Amino acid sequence: MVDIATTLPAILPLLAFLYVRNFDQSYTVSRNNWDLEYDFIIVGGGSAGAVLANRLSEISDWKILLLEAGGSDNILSDIPLAAASLQQTPIDWAYQIEPQEASCFGLINRRMHWPRGKVLGGSSVLNYMVYIRGNRRDFDNWVRLGNVGWSYEEVLPYFIKSEDNRDPSIAFNGFHGVGGYLTVSSPPDVTPVGLAFPEAGKFLGYPNIDLNGPIQTGWAIPQGTVRRGARCSTSKAFLLPTKDRPNLHVLTFSYVTKILFNEDKRAIGVQFDRFSLTHVVYVRKEVIVSGGSINSPQLLMLSGIGPADHLNAFGIPIIADLPVGNNLHDHIYPGVHFSLEAKGVSIVQRRVVSLPNIIKYFTSGRGPLTIIGGIEGLGFIKTKYANYSDDFPDFQIHLLSGDISSDDGQNFRRVQGITRELYEQYYLPYTSFDSFSFYPVMLHPKSRGFIRLRSTSPYDPPIIDPKYLTHPDDILSMVDAMKICIAGGLTPAYRKFGSKLFSRIIPGCESYPVLSDEYLACQARTYIQTIYHPVGTCRMGPADDERSVVDPELRVLGGVKGLRVVDGSIMPVITSGNTNAPIIMIAEKISDLIKGVQLPPMRFPGGDIKRMSVGQINYTKIYEIFEEAKQEFAALTNMQKRVNK
C-alpha cells in the first residue's frame, strides 16, 4: 500500500534495537552444501513448496532437497502495509504480460505487471495476506470434472490442519483450526473506513459473516496470514520450524533449469544453476515441481513436457505431448474510487508512515502498518448474472482504504504500470483527499489464456498472455459488479464521511454517457489489474481428458513417472477467492497422499446449506443508489464542461 522502503533505511539502526519480535527471523534453514542424491527433490520454495518440505521431512527416513531460485525474506517484507513496495525488487520475478487486445488500455504498452515471489515463501512473501479458502462449490465442481478426492468435505480437514486461528470469535466454530503452523488473525487496528465496511454491506442486505464459514455471500473485515502484527509467510510458518531436521536440505539461489529423465520417462534428477555454476542432483523417488503457474509450465516445457508442435518449433526433444501452459486464468478487477470530505479516516502515506507508527509496529505489532496491504474489507456479492438463490457469489469486493494517489504517486502508479495520461487526468486531482476504493474481483472468469516459451533459455521470461476480458460474458458481469460497488461506497456508512465518487472522466471514455453501461465497460477495459492469482496452466484432470496435464494425485500424465506438479497451476478452475490458502491446502493434501495416509472427510459443519440464509440482498436499493450517483455524476461533469467553456 505504501512506500516504506524510502523511509526505512534511515532508521534501520533504531529498528534493529526495537525489533523485539525478531526471534521469528533469528535463524535460517538454508545451506551451501548438498548431497548427490535425495528421496525427493522439491523445485520451488513458495507457498506449496515450503509446506511440502516440512511435511515430507516429517518422515525421518526420507531425505528431502528444496531448491529455491531466490533468497530469504527480510524485515521490510514482514510489514503488512508494505506489500506493494515489494514488487519489482530482487524478491520479485517481475513478469509482464503480452499487450492485451481487450483490456489494459490505461497501462503502459497495454501490458500488466505480474509480480511473483522469487524468495523462500514465494508469493506468500509478496501477497496481501488475505486468508480465503474459496467456496465449497469450487471443490465439489473439481470432483464433477473427474478429480476424485477433491470434494469440499475431503479438502476441509487440510485447511484446518494448517491453521492456527487466533480470533476467538470464530476459531472454535467448527470451520477453523488452532495450533497449526500457519497463523491466521484479524488486523488489530482498523481505520474508520474499514470499520464502516460491514455496515455498508448490511445496508444493502449482505450479512456480516465469517468469510471461511458456512456462508460466503456477505461482507466482513478479513483475516490474514499475520502473526503478532507481522506477515506470516509459508517460509516463516513451515520452513523455520524445520531448522533442526537433518534430513531436509534447503538451497537458496538455486535455479532449476531442467528435469532429467531416463529412457523410461522416469524423472531421475534435476539440473540447476547456483552462482553461475551448473550442478546436477539425482532423485530416488520423485521430483515435485512447485514453481507456480508461470515457472512450473516453463520448466516442464524446457524439459520436454508440453504441446508437441510448440516444443518441436524450438527443437526440444519431446518426453510427453501434454497441454502444458493452456487454461491460464486469473482474478482481475477494475477500480471504483471515492473521495472523502473527512480527514484522518483512511490510509494516506504521508500520514501513516511516521516514526511513531513505525516504532509502534516494531515494538508492539500495532498501528496502521499492520493493515494487510491496505485491504480492510472483503465482500462476496452476486451480480444479476449469478444465481440469486444459491450461495455462489460471482464477485469479491476488496476495500482498499485509499486509492492509487494515496502515496503521492510514488509506488502504486509504478508497480501497476499506469500511463501518465490516466494518472494525471484521473488520479492526481485527489492526492490531497482521504479516499477509499472498491475493487470488484471477478471470481469466475470465462476468458482463458496461455503460457509459452519465448526461447530455449530458462533465463528468458516466458510468453504470458491471459487474454483478459476476451470472453464477452466477463465484461457484462463486471459492469454490474461496478454498479454494486458504487452503491456500496455511497451508503450511509460512508456518506457520514462525505464519500463522493471520483467525478473525473476516464481518458478514452469521453464519448460515452457517464456511468452508462458502455462507460463502465470502457472504464474497466482502461484500468484493470490482476489480484495476483494466476492458475490452471498444469491442469488437473482424469487421464482421458485431453485438457489434463496431471492426474488427481498430481502425477504428470503422458507415461511420465516420478514427477508431480504441486501448486496453483493444477487448479482446473480457479477458486472463489484469494488463492494462497487453497494452494497451501493442496500441498498439505498431497504430502499426506505421498505418505500413504489421508485425513478422513469432514461432514459440512454448517449442516444443510440450502436452509441457511444468505441475507436478503436489496437489489432495489442498490440500483436506486446507483441511479442517484449517475445523476449526480452527470450534473458535475456538465458543470465542469460549462466552466471549461
What pLDDT is recorded for position 330?
Answer: 98
256 belongs to an annotated ligand binding site: yes
Q: Options 3.30.450.90, 1.10.40.30, 3.40.50.10320, 3.50.50.60; which CATH number does 29-73+119-181+233-327+536-598 get?
A: 3.50.50.60
Q: How far is CA 534 from the centre of its chain?
A: 8
Which amino acid appears at position 220 of this protein?
Answer: A
Q: What is the mean pLDDT of residues 580-598?
A: 97
What pLDDT is recorded for position 408?
Answer: 85
Whether the Cβ atoms of residue 397 and residue 215 lie closer than 8 Å to each other: no
Length of the chain as a residue count: 645
What pLDDT is recorded for position 24?
Answer: 47
Long-range CB contacts (within 8 A, 24+) of 258-262: 258/299, 258/302, 258/303, 258/458, 259/43, 259/287, 259/289, 259/299, 259/300, 259/303, 259/305, 259/563, 260/303, 261/303, 261/304, 261/319, 261/560
End-to-end CA distance of the chain: 38
What pLDDT is recorded for position 642?
Answer: 57
427 belongs to an annotated ligand binding site: no
User: Is the model's pLDDT at 8 over the cut of 80?
Assistant: no
426 belongs to an annotated ligand binding site: no
**pLDDT tens sequence across 94-144:** 999 999 999 999 999 999 999 999 999 999 999 999 999 999 999 999 999
Average pLDDT over the chain, rounded to an integer: 93
User: Is the model's pLDDT at 499 over the cut of 50?
Assistant: yes
What pLDDT is recorded for position 616?
Answer: 86
User: Is the model's pLDDT at 11 over the cut of 80?
Assistant: no
- How far is CA 151 from each of CA 120, 132, 160, 588, 604, rounded to the nearest angstrom? 30, 17, 15, 15, 11
Q: What is the mean pLDDT of residues 75-84?
A: 91
Q: What angle do CA 448, 451, 457 make, to 5 degrees?
A: 175
**pLDDT tens sequence across 29-59:** 889 999 999 999 999 999 999 999 999 999 9
What pLDDT is recorded for position 21?
Answer: 44
> Between 545 and 10, whose confidence is greater?
545
User: Is the model's pLDDT at 314 over the cut of 70?
Assistant: yes
**pLDDT tens sequence across 593-632:** 999 999 999 987 665 554 445 668 999 999 999 999 999 9
Q: What angle do CA 46, 49, 53 make, to 5 degrees?
A: 130
User: Is the model's pLDDT at 18 over the cut of 50?
Assistant: no
Domain 80-114+188-221+329-451+459-532 has CATH 3.30.560.10: yes
Whether the Cβ atoms of residue 605 and residue 175 lie closer than 8 Å to each other: yes
130 belongs to an annotated ligand binding site: yes
User: Is the model's pLDDT at 60 over the cut of 70?
Assistant: yes
User: Is the model's pLDDT at 247 over the cut of 80?
Assistant: yes
Tell me what percent of the residues of the chain surpass a pLDDT of 70. 93
Q: Is beta strand 64-67 parallel, antiparallel or unpaired with respect to 37-43?
A: parallel
What pLDDT is recorded for position 26?
Answer: 46
Whether the Cβ atoms of residue 131 and residue 224 lie closer than 8 Å to each other: yes
Q: How far apart are CA 626 and CA 483, in angstroms?
A: 6
- 240-270 burial, b for 16+ CB within 10 Å, e for fewer? bebeeeebbbbbbbbbbbbbbbeeebbbbbb
- How far is CA 209 from each of CA 377, 396, 491, 615, rounded to the nearest angstrom? 12, 14, 19, 10
Q: What is the mean pLDDT of residues 160-179?
A: 95
Torsion over CA: 261, 266, 268, 271 (sign) = positive
Q: How far apart are CA 493 and CA 489, in angstroms?
A: 8
**pLDDT tens sequence across 201-237:** 999 999 999 999 999 999 999 999 999 999 999 999 9
Q: Is beta strand 375-381 parallel, antiparallel or unpaired with respect to 529-530?
A: unpaired
- Cell 505487471 identifies what position? 113
What pLDDT is recorded for position 27?
Answer: 55
What pLDDT is recorded for position 552?
Answer: 98
What pLDDT is recorded for position 17?
Answer: 47
- Would you state the cell numbers that stand for residue 157, as one nine-digit string? 480437514
What pLDDT is recorded for position 535?
Answer: 98
Q: How far apart are CA 62 and CA 474, in angstroms?
A: 47
User: Is the model's pLDDT at 243 over the cut of 80?
Assistant: yes
Whether the Cβ atoms of residue 548 and residue 569 lie closer than 8 Å to each other: no
Q: Find the catalytic residue in 113, 398, 444, 533.
A: 533
Identical fold, 29-73+119-181+233-327+536-598 and 80-114+188-221+329-451+459-532 = no
128 belongs to an annotated ligand binding site: yes
Q: How far apart are CA 338 and CA 373, in angstroms?
A: 18
Q: What are phi and psi of 448, to 5 degrees?
A: -130, 140
Beta bridge partners of 66: 42, 250
- Would you state the cell numbers that stand for residue 255, as one nine-digit string? 535455479
Q: Rounded to two decimals, what is the model's pTM?
A: 0.95
**pLDDT tens sequence across 454-472:** 999 999 999 999 999 999 9
**pLDDT tens sequence across 267-278:** 999 999 999 999
Q: How far apart are CA 241 and CA 179, in angstroms?
A: 13
127 belongs to an annotated ligand binding site: yes
Q: How far apart are CA 505 and CA 131, in angstroms?
A: 35
- Cell 529498528 identifies what position? 15
**pLDDT tens sequence across 387-406:** 988 999 999 999 999 999 99
Q: Tell me which residue of 35, 379, 441 sits closest to 209, measured CA to CA.
A: 379
Residue ranges covered by each domain of the chain:
29-73+119-181+233-327+536-598, 80-114+188-221+329-451+459-532
What pLDDT is recorded for position 202?
Answer: 96
**Residue 620 CB contacts under 8 Å (≥ 6 apart), including other chains:** none
What pLDDT is recorded for position 409?
Answer: 84
1 belongs to an annotated ligand binding site: no
Active site residue 176: no
The radius of gyration of the chain from alpha carbons, rounded to an integer in Å, stands at 24
Count of CB atoms situated within 10 Å of the CB of 148: 12
- How far is CA 218 from each of CA 19, 87, 391, 614, rounded to the nearest angstrom? 37, 31, 10, 7
Whether the Cβ atoms of residue 533 and residue 579 lie closer than 8 Å to each other: yes
**pLDDT tens sequence across 419-448:** 999 999 999 999 989 999 999 999 999 999
Q: How far apart are CA 155 and CA 246, in angstroms?
A: 30
What pLDDT is recorded for position 9?
Answer: 53
Q: How far apart are CA 542 and CA 451, in angstroms?
A: 22
Q: How far apart are CA 226 and CA 232, in angstroms?
A: 5
